[in-house]
A = this chain, B = another copy of it.
Amino acid sequence: MSVARARIAAVETHDIRFPTSREHDGSDAMNPDPDYSAAYVVLRADVADCAGRELAGHGFAFTIGRGNDVQVAAINALRSHIVGRDLDELCADPGVISRALVGDSQLRWLGPEKGVMQMAIGAVVNAVWDLAAKRAGKPVWQFLADAEPEWLVSQIDFRYIEDALSRDEALELLRAGKAGSAERAARLREAGYPAYTTSPGWLGYSDEKLTRLAKQAVADGFTQIKLKVGADLEDDVRRFRAARAAVGDELRIAVDANQRWNVPEAVDWVGALAEFDPYWIEEPTSPDDILGHAAIRRAVAPVKVATGEHVQNRIVFKQLLQAGSIDILQLDSARVAGVNENLAILLLAAKFGVPVCPHAGGVGLCELVQHLSMFDYVALTGTTDDRVIEFVDHLHEHFTDPVRISGGSYLAPSAPGFSAEMHPESIATYRFPDGTFWMADLRERNEGVAA
């Protein structure tokens, strides 16, 4: 007797771009005009889920416009690794596909483990976790929190990090994290996970809009906001003063330079803002500059140093921790090679006792990363002290299971999967260049030229 095995039948990709630059949403010192975009991938299985719907895994890389096509091409280059894979095997052990993608020696040359190829692997690996969690009928945070420590450790590639975190140490941390996890899961479902908001602080916003949104953030229950800085010191002083006036002395205000400075410049600039009590300085310089961050941290204390949204992999995070470069680790769900590598990063942070406050915003990054922080709380570090997930109130309406914020906290997702699925209408509208929005936009431009 032979039973047909369920398989991945197709890998679909879409170049999705939102025209966010027209409202200066997301504008900062390095990125004046981002068009928030997703290189989006769908892994289609040849079976239905338990509700009779077509079963599929969804994932994406986040980019800010031009080059989203290059990112899609990189995901397409991974297609032959996925199509035809046995669905049960894939879902039972996502580490297999994770290692296959990272270890493809010809594709590895294009990184290694960084940039466009790394994000492509992240998109596909995250789509596999979406699929695995859907099959298990659990949201990813719970899927991870329910897993055995031995299995979680088997999902991690310890290459290049063993000198800082051994397999045994990881196992010990995960075993310790199990104690009290059921109670914490219950508390999470009740109270959610603390958030902070960046919505008031975009560089392109007027002082009036900044003040209004900062006050709104307090009214909404947030205990921290963030301002973009680094383009012009005089402007930054004025905006920071306005923000402080709007929120009072108690609320934490973080600032974010988006890599704008050299090391000495960062030290001077943060010094000039010190009177307004910045909670952390985020991305003061290049994310590659491990030693530079360490020098900045020594100089600007007690202001904390945070980075991570552009950190390429676990190896750089390892060194940021080893060198004492950061007070806050800003993990990103879609910059590194997916859940498997993020497990390694969460464990490194736990080992070094550095709180993780994830980067989010963009397209769908809030949706993804909440699962990782919630797993960390329930089954790894067991605490939300000094931990907040970034929240930006943009583009959630395009997702079928959008984040829910209440009283300044992320509520725990309950739908199975990774909250990564977009509405078919959003894809049809914003696919570049042939979605209905972009086709209409092109017609308007052409008419503008003709007129």
* A residues neighboring B (CB under 8 Å): 30-35, 63-67, 69-71, 73-74, 77, 104-119, 158-160, 162-163, 259, 262-264, 285-292, 295, 310, 312-313, 315-316, 318-319, 322-323
Contact = CB atoms under 8 A, between A and B. Distances in A.
10 contacts: A63-B106, A63-B110, A65-B106, A69-B77, A70-B70, A70-B77, A111-B115, A288-B315, A290-B291, A291-B322
Contacts of A290: 290-291, 319
Given A160-B292, A319-B290, A31 B109 contact: yes
A106 B315 contact: no
Contacts of A33: 105-106
Given A117-B115, A319-B289, A35 B67 contact: no
A114 B115 CA distance: 6
Contacts of A34: 105-106, 109
B288 A312 contact: yes
A323 B294 CA distance: 12
Contacts of A65: 106
Contacts of A264: 162-163
A370 to B, nearest CB: 22
A263 B71 CA distance: 32
Nearest to A313: B288
A116 B117 contact: yes
A235 B116 CA distance: 36
A101 B432 CA distance: 22
B104 A66 contact: yes
Contacts of A263: 162-163
B64 A69 contact: no
Given A66-B106, A292-B319, 8 more contacts: A33-B105, A67-B74, A69-B77, A70-B116, A71-B110, A112-B287, A114-B114, A162-B264
A63 to B, nearest CB: 6
Contacts of A64: 105-106, 109
Q: Which of A33, A77, A116, A160 has the most CB of B within 10 A?
A: A116
A69 B159 CA distance: 28
Nearest to A362: B109
B105 A32 contact: yes
A292 B322 CA distance: 10
Contacts of A162: 262-264
A69 B160 CA distance: 29
Q: Which of A108, A109, A110 has the most CB of B within 10 A?
A: A109
Contacts of A63: 106, 109-110
Contacts of A69: 73, 77
